[in-house]
Structure 1
Amino acid sequence: MTRKKILLLSVSAGAGHMRAAEAIRAFADAGGAAEATHLDVMDYVTAGFRKLYTDFYIKLVNKAPALWGYVYHATNEAERDGAVERMRRALERLNTRALLREIALRRPDAIICTHFLPAELLSRAIAKQGLAVPVWVQVTDFDLHRMWVHEHMAGYFAANEEVAFRLRDQGIDAARIVVTGIPIMPAFGQAPARPECAAGFGLDPARATILLMGGGAGLGSLDKVAERLLALGGEFQLIVLAGRNAQALAALRALAERHPGRLLAQGFTDEVERLMACADLVITKPGGLTSSECLALGLPMIVNSPIPGQEERNADYLLEQGVALKAFDAATLEFRVRHLLADPGALAAMRERARRLGRPDAGRRVLERVLAHAPA
């Protein structure tokens, strides 16, 4: 039997969209029913457009989060046929013709978009150029921005029931919406054993352990946050993930030397699930992917200074579900940590609620739905 060819399209503006696509690809590789290829749309645009979409985004959310929040809300409320929106779409079309040529060469049986940009481009290609490939959209947050919603899509995968409701409210047929959760790597559904994982990293599995995460780009003043937490004293261990931020990693390793046996500093790693398995509490930015990984492993969270926009909306969802607390500055973070470490019962209740919300099989469910509807 010939395997179906699935093309996964994402955008390297933040790590989450890419990780969702890689998760679906991993389920395809494991199941063997599909040949999945993942493309970064930014590899098929001009250098200037790439800089705007990736470098500018990272700088904006790190240096001017309030401005990003304004952009997020303004684009959500913008008139679809307004002059600014028409100009934006024209710029995107001019810079992505190479992507359409690549799709034609690869001849996929179905396309899954984990970012709104390729979904918008392909919606137009279906309407204007007769693109016949079914295109599916995976929303990667617990919020729905209007830029995710486009005509001519084969279907939508929603993170939760609220996102599905909002898709219907935007005019998407309920029959084309499936609540799957957000795809995460298969490893997060395999619940690695804490003692084994702790031994691999030189950690004590019996000690309370806090995991501080800065995302793939290592955003936030991680060394300053870590130093304040370590000043609390107590018996807990601290793991800090600096992502690809080499400067932050160097500062953290210097801090670890001053606190032997209490701080493990890590750069970018493909063993996040094993580090999470060592933790009792995660301090993180509330990205859709990271939050979903924590939920799959039943990990309580403190969401730290969420940026206005999608992170703020994700944080609202996590707080409403009772799986996270919110810290908006260093003092509040210290208070939340002290509170949870002093109340194991509260931590245990948060852990159970998180476990019930987890959807570690989201990637498999997405793939099954797409394959079931792919042309014969």
Structure 2
Amino acid sequence: MLILSASMGTGHDGVAAELAARLAAENADSEIIDVLRLFPLRLGSALRRGYRGMILRAPWLYEVIYQVFFVGKRAPGTSPLTVLAASRLRRLVDARRPDEVVSTFHLAAQITGRLRERGELPCPSTVLVTDFAVHRLWLHRGNDRYLCPNPDIVGQIAAQARRPVLRCAPVVRPEFARAVADPGRVAGSVGVDPGDRLVLVSGGSWGVGEIIATARTLARSGRYTPLVLCGDNAGLRRRLREAGLGPALGWRDDVPELMAAAYALVDNGSGLTCEEAFAAGLPVIIHRPIPGHGRDGARSMARAGVSMHTGSASALLKALDHLEDARARKRLADRAGALFYSMPVQAGLISAPRWASSGSG
């Protein structure tokens, strides 16, 4: 199988890597391709830099683009960018001859849908929706079928794409469900008091959003200690340390243990980190989400009852205080954990019938 991802942060790549590992365990060969590398003249790198720059420095601009091109009523059904990468993907498929192509990023789904619709992609094309809320650029009718972890949008996908849709569990590394940690030991390892109530704060691999304000809200409460995951944003780490706002961590390979020891996760997206927390049984609060798909995903998760969504400092602290109730914590964890009762994604790819009716799951 040829897995198409995109290095827009690490969420899509993380899903692609775990999918490849699961396929390997089933004796299925796979190869991961960064779809951004299919664009000529380094345009893919420019798209990544432009998106990152907007999210970090001008989120309002990304919101405008999202409203016009992703969800607007007059938005084009197919991204014009697909033409630029379609020929390279076609040549790649001709050389590799995969049994199936799987897209984990909406732009990849646009490219495969275009090729499949025009009869230029000889193998089936499956789209694995990695966002909790779906926009129209995920939904090209040329693709053969869709896999989706959010049961609440299965019907929407089936109605708009007019293709079979199968529910699947979120694609998360198994370490998150298995991790066990001593909160006191973890607190000591990051330099805080063992009795502190640790709250993980994440802004994704790029450290985007109002992270400093969130950390300050937690620290000033006197009840919670922020433990900030800054990803590769060295500037954010420096500013947090200068402000004395709790441990500011870069890349870590012990995030499953951190989640096992934490009181809650406060995120500003709705992607893979939230799903990892769901697997770990860690309550999730999405606070002041990034615009566009981040905001829509936060609302979708809140409607599904798998996380909470807050927009002010007082609401964030109120939500965290609410989690002191063991029944409230269990209710949230149970709803999030139920997502993993669905079919594993590898089963959907290897054994599920391609003639399944739309909306089945």
Common fold by TM > 0.5: yes
Moved more, 343-352 or 131-140: 343-352
- d(CA) in 1 for partners of 2:321 and 2:212? 24
Per-residue Cα deviation, 1:347-366 (whole angstroms, up to 9, x for no partner): 65144323332367589711
Q: What displacement does 1:106 show?
A: 2.0
Of 324, 335, 344, the match for 1:365 = 344
* Counterparts in 2 of 1:363 and 1:268: CA distance versus 1, 3 Å: farther
Q: Aligned match of 1:339 in 313, 318, 321? A: 318
Of residues 65, 70, 87, the one that matches 1:97 is 87
Q: Give 1:169 deviation, angstroms.
A: 1.8
Distance 2:251 2:288 in 1: 21
C-alpha distance in 1 between matches for 2:26 and 2:192: 37
Could you tell me whether the CA contact under 8 Å between 1:189 and 1:361 is conserved in 2? no
Q: 1:341 to 1:11 in 2, by over 3 A?
A: closer
Give the aligned partner of residue 356 of structure 1: 335
On the 8 A contact 1:183/1:360 being kept in 2, the answer is: no
Which residue identity does 2:17 align to in structure 1? Answer: E
Q: Structure 1: how far apart are the matches of 2:289 and 2:210?
A: 13
Q: Distance in 2 between matches of 1:130 and 1:337?
A: 50
Query: Of the candidates 63, 66, 78, which is equivalent to residue 69 of structure 1?
Result: 63
Amino acid at match of 1:238: P
Residues of 2 paired with 1:293 and 1:70: CA distance?
Answer: 30
Say which SS state the counterpart of residue 221 (structure 2) adopts.
coil
Match of 1:225 among 214, 220, 223: 214
Report the alpha carbon displacement of residue 205 of structure 1 after superposing the two structures with TM: 6.1
2:296 is aligned with 1:313: yes
Which residue number corresponds to residue 165 of structure 2? 177
Matched with 2:200 is: 211
Alignment of 1:154-165 (within 5 A): 154-165=144-155
CA spacing shift, 1:348–1:158, aligned 2, 3 Å: same
Question: Distance in 2 between the 1:280 and 1:297 partners?
Answer: 12
- Alpha-carbon distance change, 247 to 138 in structure 1, aligned in 2, over 3 angstroms: same
With structure 2 as the length reference, what TM-score do the two structures score?
A: 0.85
Q: Which of the residues 157, 162, 174 maps onto 1:167?
A: 157
Q: Does 1:115 align with 2:105?
A: yes
Let me know the Cα RMSD of the aligned residues.
Answer: 2.9
Work out whether 1:15 is the aligned partner of 2:2.
no
Map residues 198-347 of structure 1 onto 2, 5 A cutoff: 201=190, 207-234=196-223, 236-256=224-244, 263-328=246-311, 332-333=312-313, 335-346=314-325
CA contact (8 A) 1:8 1:111 kept: yes
> Which of 50, 53, 57 is 2:47 aligned to?
53
C-alpha separation in 1, matches of 2:151 and 2:306? 17
Q: Distance in 2 between matches of 1:151 and 1:373?
A: 20
Match of 1:143 in 2: 133
1:210/1:239 contact within 8 Å kept:
yes
- Higher mean Cα deviation, 358-367 or 39-48? 358-367
Give distance in 2, aligned partners of 1:105 and 1:359. Answer: 41
- Range moving further from structure 2, 9-18 or 69-78: 69-78
Partner Cα separation in structure 1 for residue 297 and residue 325 of structure 2: 21
- Rounded to whole Å, the distance in 2 between the matches of 1:188 and 1:284 is 17
Separation of aligned partners in 2, 1:130 and 1:99? 10
Aligned amino acid, residue 21 of structure 1: A
Inter-partner Cα distance in structure 1 for 2:306 and 2:325: 10
Q: Deviation at 1:322?
A: 4.0
Give the aligned residue type for 2:290. Answer: I
Q: Distance in 2 between matches of 1:206 and 1:276?
A: 16
Q: Cα distance 1:352–1:362, how it changes in 2: closer, same or farther (>3 A)?
A: closer
Quote the offset at 1:324 in angstroms. Answer: 3.6
Cα distance in 1 for partners of 2:4, 2:30 equals 11
Change (3 A) 1:77 1:340: closer
Following superposition, the deviation at residue 279 of structure 1 comes to 0.9
How far apart in 2 are the matches of 1:269 and 1:153?
A: 36
- The Cα of 1:210 is off from its aligned counterpart by 0.8
**Structure 2 equivalent of residue 3 of structure 1:** none
- TM-score of the two chains, using structure 1 as the length reference: 0.82
- Quote the offset at 1:221 in angstroms: 4.2
How many residue pairs get aligned? The number is 352
Q: Shift in Å at residue 240 of structure 1?
A: 0.6
* Residue deviations 1:3-36 (CA, integer Å, cap 9, x gap): xxx221011223322222122123234x242222
Contact 1:182 1:362 in 2 (8 A): no
Mapped partners of 1:291, 1:72: distance in 2: 22
Unpaired stretches in structure 1, ≥5 consecutive residues? 1-5
